[in-house]
Amino acid sequence: MPLILVHREEPIAVVQLNRPEALNALNPALMQELVVALETLDDDAKIRAIILTGSEKSFAAGADIKEMAALTAAEIKKQNPLQVWDRVATIKKPLIAAVSGFALGGGCELSMMCDIIIASDTAKFGQLEINLGIIPGAGGTQRLTHAIGKSKAMEWILSGNIYSAQEAAEAGLVSKVVPAAQVLNEAKKLALTIVEKSPIALAAAKKAILASLDLPLTEGLQKERQLFYQLFDTQDQKEGMQAFLEKRKPNFTGK
């Protein structure tokens, strides 16, 4: 049985985690299939945005503890199982997480690697690693702090508690909370709005926003300015501004 299902609905695609018997626990085999699927779609000119989802019961209930429990520090460092996870965060096209049910531990970290999180009212978020005698290892301590601030991140990670979708939205982690039956359609609706924009401008906007997580404000502003100026050498910039002046819808080609 494939661990990842890809549903093409050009110009968008839905990538679905498919280990229902394990609540979509993120073992190395699943993560490898996921990265391949995402990178393939990222290189596909017919796909302009990607949605990542799980099942109604579980987006992803964390990393697969069974595969890690007996490892020593030297063994897990040599295996470096989390290295492949980093590639999710390098996807250039807009990546939207549609989350229902559990998004815990590695599942929460995976959702934060996406650009936008749409959650169902059944979604449950949390970094539970402290309950296992470890800490988040796939970006949880870093991305969660950027998303919800130091004090809230400390609370989430040090307590190992589980938080509702509404609490996650109030903290700033989640963009929108919708009824469970609507979460995928809401993500598709947003994706279809996004893909109407210039692909070059979308990539530049995503690059600039992600740079803000790594750079001091002064350097981030310089990066933004550089990307802004570069867009004036694109056909999409000319088309977008001309369409605005002519009061018509622009026809962006990604050039």
Quote the pLDDT of residue 69: 80
Q: At what angle do helices 140-148 and 150-159 cross, to 10 degrees?
A: 140
Q: Is residue 172 flagged as an active site residue? A: no
Q: What is the C-alpha R_g of the chain? A: 19
Q: Is residue 21 flagged as an active site residue? A: no
Statement: residue 67 has pLDDT above 80: no
Alpha-carbon separation of residue 54 from 5, 104, 110, 184, 202 (angstroms): 10, 13, 11, 10, 25
Q: Is residue 140 flagged as an active site residue? A: no
pLDDT digits (tens, 9 = 90+) for 168-220: 999 999 999 999 999 999 999 999 999 999 999 999 999 999 999 999 999 99
Domains (range + CATH), the chain = 4-194 (3.90.226.10), 199-245 (1.10.12.10)
Determine which one of 54, 106, 107, 139 is catalytic.
106
| DSSP conformation letters of 217-235 | HHHHHHHHHHHHHHGGGSH
Prediction pTM value: 0.94
Q: Is residue 220 flagged as an active site residue? A: no
Determine which one of 33, 109, 186, 224 is catalytic.
109
